[in-house]
Amino acid sequence: MTSGHVAFGDMNTGQALEYPEEAAHRHRANRWQRWLLPAGILAALAVWQLLTASALVPAFLLPSPLAVADRFLRGWNDASLARHTLVTLSEVLAGLSLGVLAAAILGYVVAKSPAVERFLSPYIVASQAIPIVAIAPLLVIWFGPGRLSKILIAALIVFFPVLVNTVVGVRSVPQDLRELMRSLRATRWQTFSLLEIPAALPVLLGGLKIGATLSVIGAVVGEFVGADEGLGFLVNVGRGLYDTALVFVAVFLLIGMALALYGLVAWFERQVSWRREENRP
Amino acid sequence: MTPRVSLLSANELTVWFPNGNGGLHALDRVSFDVAPKDFVCIVGPSGSGKTTILRLLAGLLQPTRGEVRVGGQPLREPRRGTGFVFQQANLMPWRTVLDNIALPLELEHQPLDAARRRAGELLTLVGLEGFESAHPQDLSGGMAQRVAIARALIHDPDLLLLDEPFGSLDALTRERMAAELMRIWEARHVTVVLVTHSIPEAVLLADRVLVVSARPWRVVLDLPIRLGRPRTLELSYTAEFGKLVRRVRDSIE
Ligand SMILES: Nc1ncnc2c1ncn2[C@@H]1O[C@H](COP(=O)(O)OP(=O)(O)OP(=O)(O)O)[C@@H](O)[C@H]1O
Ligand SMILES: [Mg+2]
């Protein structure tokens, strides 16, 4: 199970059973831990600013945080930054949806049918073994330098982890509960929607979280290979012009995009998860 | 007394489970009848095919040979009028207690609020009012098992099959649950087939005790228990009760 999250939707019943001292202790711990993340970020920014101010590193190699902020504002004002961000975001979302959809459907079939699994497993393993960077150029040649090739690359990189998690999730549905559904004369659809989906959901969402961050990498790899728009393209432009501030801006936007997607899935996971937090004594 | 027609009949049930070396016998020509409103207990050592018999009676498993008839009709698949309580409580952890109990009605597309109301009544019957919105993880083993019993009762079954429903409970809770089950049975008069490995429990509850054994996979004793009703735990200290327990015990050796 993924660590750290309060993975339980119904807080009423969850908290009622906790000992008061324990809850208080956790509360205290939370209070000062809350400051760790912003403090860490501030510290990193300070070190970075000092490093550039001390002239140990030339400005064209490492721009100062202020220079990066300035570059960001300039890009934002002439609207180019927003456009490139939206291009990459659209590729990421389309690739992620496509990859997840294909992997979830195929994963379900594989989980249900050993014959299909035996037939497909060499391809599935191969899809994982091929380094994405190596076949990205091929996909760009086949599908052109437009968005389609990026979407396909993102979908491909997302495919494997989501597929594996789907198979594991569907296989983890307890046999006893399947038998219960059978004894209640549930239809296939009822077994699917009322048993398999909720039972597999925690594992499925784990796969989706990994897929969400990978899809950003996939789109950028595609843009590196050949594109005239997108954040990956901006990184390339910045490199060519020695505009390192622009490279930083693009990289930060990519990180932000991946984090936002991850956070979105994690939030959704917390809303629907029925699994207990595991670190209770 | 009017002649009693059998609700349930097992005819020459034979089950082979395929394994590496040519199959494993789990049952060999097992036959018995169960009259309506009867309380039948099946006892036997571990691995003697008790769960297999219940799965056959529920229509979850088809016998290699022989057949199960319910109300005269051959049983081909699970039927609506049967309630099944598994060896483990077998609740869905993502559903509240109330929604777990309501599940059988929900699968029949009955209106959800009516199903929940019915589930609430059953929750009271098994003594768990106030736990409607708890999740199975918050329940003790005995409470979870009572929820499972409530779930099996929700569509008013005429046949209740229970597979060692008190197996994971401590002795005291076990006695309380057995008394509760007797009360439910007396109030509703469903036919009950209960698997247990406790001989005194079987004798206390049953109108009839069936003893099954492994190798041979047969019914080795079919003993009517002619003790009055209602029965209480007091009964288990009488000499008559002791003799019956002794007879069941001896048949297993
Ligand atoms: N699905 C199955 N496939 C193969 N063998 C099985 C299967 N189910 C049961 N068996 C075998 O059949 C025999 C009887 O099993 P069963 O579960 O009916 O016993 P039981 O009396 O319920 O035992 P226990 O008291 O331990 O629950 C056992 O030897 C078991 O290994
Ligand atoms: Mg069993």
Using one digit for the tens of pLDDT, what is the confidence trace for A54-87? Answer: 877 777 788 888 888 888 888 888 888 899 999 9
Q: Using CA atoms, how far apart are residues B14 and B64, in angstroms rounded to an integer?
A: 6
Are B161 and B76 found together in one domain? yes
The pLDDT score that the predictor gives to residue A26 is: 62
> Average of pLDDT values for A219-227?
90
Residue by residue, DSSP assigns B114-147 as HHHHHHHHHHHHTT-TT-TT--GGGS-HHHHHHH
> Average of pLDDT values for A47-60?
81
The pLDDT score that the predictor gives to residue A279 is: 36
> Average of pLDDT values for B34-54?
92
- H-helix or E-strand spanning residue B194: strand B191-195
Chain B: residue nearest A187 by CA? B107
Q: Is A13 within 8 Å of B90 when comparing Cβ atoms?
A: no
* Structure confidence by residue, pLDDT tens digits, B143-171: 999 999 999 999 889 999 999 998 877 88
Residue A157: inside a domain = yes
Q: Are B10 and B62 in contact (CB under 8 A)?
A: no
Amino acid (one-letter) located at A18: E
The pLDDT score that the predictor gives to residue B34 is: 93
The pLDDT score that the predictor gives to residue A21 is: 57
Long-range (24+ apart) CB contacts under 8 A made by A230-233 are A230/A84, A230/A87, A230/A88, A230/A91, A230/A150, A231/A84, A231/A85, A231/A87, A231/A88, A231/A257, A232/A88, A233/A84
Q: For the beta carbon of residue B24, count every other beta carbon within 10 angstroms.
A: 12
Q: Using CA atoms, how far apart are residues A27 and A269, in angstroms rounded to an integer?
A: 22
Whole-number Å distance, alpha carbon B17 to ligand 1 midpoint, is 9
Q: What residues flank ligand 1, with Cβ below 6 Å?
A: B 17, 24, 26, 44, 46-52, 197
Question: Ligand 1 atom 29: the closest Cα is on which residue?
Answer: B47
Are B13 and B69 found together in one domain? yes
Residue B172: inside a domain = yes
Instruction: Check CB contact of A278 with chain B, cutoff 8 Å.
Output: no
Are A185 and A128 found together in one domain? yes
Q: Using CA atoms, how far apart are residues A13 and A16, in angstroms rounded to an integer?
A: 5
Residue B181: inside a domain = yes
Ligand 1 mutation pick, B50, B61, B218, max ligand atoms within 8 A of CB: B50
> Average of pLDDT values for B205-220?
90
Which residues of A are less than 8 Å from B107 in CB distance? 181, 184-186, 190, 194
Amino acid (one-letter) located at A196: E
Residue A69: inside a domain = no
> Average of pLDDT values for B228-242?
88
Are A36 and A92 found together in one domain? no
Angle between helix A80-112 and A197-225 (nearest 10)? 130
Instruction: Check CB contact of B66 with chain A, cutoff 8 Å.
Output: no
> Is B237's pLDDT higher than 80?
yes
Are B134 and B15 found together in one domain? no
Whole-number Å distance, alpha carbon B86 to ligand 2 midpoint, is 9
Nearest to A92 by CA among A165, A153, A160, A163: A153
Question: Ligand 1 atom 1: the closest Cα is on which residue?
Answer: B17
Q: Average model confidence (pLDDT) for chain A?
A: 84
The pLDDT score that the predictor gives to residue A13 is: 35
Q: Domain tally for chain A? A: 2
Q: Using CA atoms, how far apart are residues B159 and B79, in angstroms rounded to an integer?
A: 10
> Average of pLDDT values for B51-62?
94
Q: Which domain holds residue B200?
A: 1-81+157-226
The pLDDT score that the predictor gives to residue A7 is: 35
Q: Using CA atoms, how far apart are residues B135 and B151, in angstroms rounded to an integer?
A: 14
**Residue A206: CATH number of its domain:** 1.10.3720.10
- How many alpha carbons lie under 13 Å from residue A99 in its C-beta half-sphere? 34
Q: Average model confidence (pLDDT) for chain B?
A: 89
* Pairing verdict, β B8-17 and B65-70: antiparallel
Ligand 1 mutation pick, B21, B46, B51, max ligand atoms within 8 A of CB: B51
Instruction: Check CB contact of A271 with chain B, cutoff 8 Å.
Output: no
Q: Is B78 within 8 Å of A183 when comparing Cβ atoms?
A: yes
Count A/B contacts: CB-CB distance under 8 Å: 52
Which residues of B are less than 8 Å from A275 in CB distance? 93
Alpha-carbon distances of A243 from A246, B97, B119, rounded to whole Å: 5, 61, 68
* Structure confidence by residue, pLDDT tens digits, B120-140: 999 988 889 899 999 999 998
Q: Which domain holds residue A58?
A: 1-63
The pLDDT score that the predictor gives to residue A43 is: 92
What is the distance in angstroms between the CA of the first residue and the CA of the last residue of chain A? 17
Are B2 and B120 found together in one domain? no
Whole-number Å distance, alpha carbon A225 to ligand 1 midpoint, is 59
In the sheet that holds B82-85, the strands lie side by side as B82-85, B159-163, B191-195, B39-43, B208-212, B219-224
Nearest to B186 by CA among B241, B232, B229: B229
Q: Domain tally for chain B? A: 2
Are B106 and B38 found together in one domain? no
Instruction: Check CB contact of B134 with chain A, cutoff 8 Å.
Output: yes
Are B70 and B161 found together in one domain? yes
Amino acid (one-letter) located at B160: L
- 3-class DSSP assignment, residue A34: coil
- Alpha helices, DSSP H, located in chain A: 11-16, 20-33, 36-53, 65-77, 80-112, 114-129, 132-143, 147-171, 175-183, 188-190, 197-225, 231-240, 244-272
